[in-house]
């Protein structure tokens, strides 16, 4: 019986480890809770982006992701997005949210919209060198028990110092 209890505990813990660390949309009761949830999701998304964790990135976007970029246009689909990260970002660019720029707004029965500014660095140039900056709008959808990015608009790319 003890072995069964230990096995049951291990299964429960392994399921909890794979779950997102943010509440369900219906459990969020205030603007502060929503902002905290989306801030956590943004960090999770870009920790995966910065470390080139393609598998993790894949869990955070919908299959029919629409990504609008002012320089490259529209890209549709999760796989296209993941391939672009793998081929153009991994080991070449890291992203950092500009402190104080994040805005979060609820979208009734859908999720949230996240608006902000981020900077992009080439490895080893965080304190100097070429730095890019852009504005972004991200739609976070809560569906089937998970938060995922459904639409992104990344625009106003320019150099920053």
Q: Please, which pLDDT band fits residue 15 given cuts at 50, 70 and 90?
A: very low
β-pairing, 61-69 vs 146-160, is parallel
pLDDT > 80? residue 14 = no
Q: What pLDDT sits at residue 129? A: 60
Percent of the chain scored above 70 by pLDDT? 83
Q: Please, which pLDDT band fits residue 19 given cuts at 50, 70 and 90?
A: low
Q: What is the mean pLDDT of residues 59-80?
A: 97
Q: What is the value of pTM for the model shown?
A: 0.84
**Mean of the per-residue pLDDT values for the chain?**
87
Q: What is the mean pLDDT of residues 16-43?
A: 88
Map out the domains of the chain as residue ranges: 2-160
The pLDDT tens digits of the residues spanning 83-95 come to: 999 999 999 999 9
Rounded (10°) CA dihedral 81, 150, 26, 14: -20
Q: What pLDDT sits at residue 123? A: 77
pLDDT > 90? residue 12 = no
In sign, the C-alpha dihedral spanning 16, 144, 77, 43 is negative
The domain 2-160 having CATH identifier 1.20.140.10: the answer here is: no
């Amino acid at each position: 019986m003890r072995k069964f209890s230990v096995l049951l505990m291990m299964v429960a813990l392994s399921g909890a480890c794979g779950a997102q660390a943010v509440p369900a949309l219906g459990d969020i009761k205030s603007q502060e809770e929503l902002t905290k949830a989306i801030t956590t999701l943004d960090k999770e998304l870009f920790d995966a982006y910065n470390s080139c964790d393609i598998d993790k990135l894949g869990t955070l976007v919908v299959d029919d992701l629409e990504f609008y970029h002012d320089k490259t246009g529209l890209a549709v689909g999760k796989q296209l997005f993941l391939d672009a990260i793998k081929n153009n970002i991994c080991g070449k660019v890291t992203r950092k949210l500009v402190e104080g720029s994040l805005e979060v707004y609820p979208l009734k029965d859908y999720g949230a919209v996240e608006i902000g500014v981020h900077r992009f660095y080439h490895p080893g140039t965080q304190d100097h060198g070429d730095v890019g900056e852009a504005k972004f709008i991200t739609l976070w959808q809560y569906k089937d028990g998970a938060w995922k990015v459904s639409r992104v608009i990344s625009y106003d790319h320019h150099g920053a110092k």
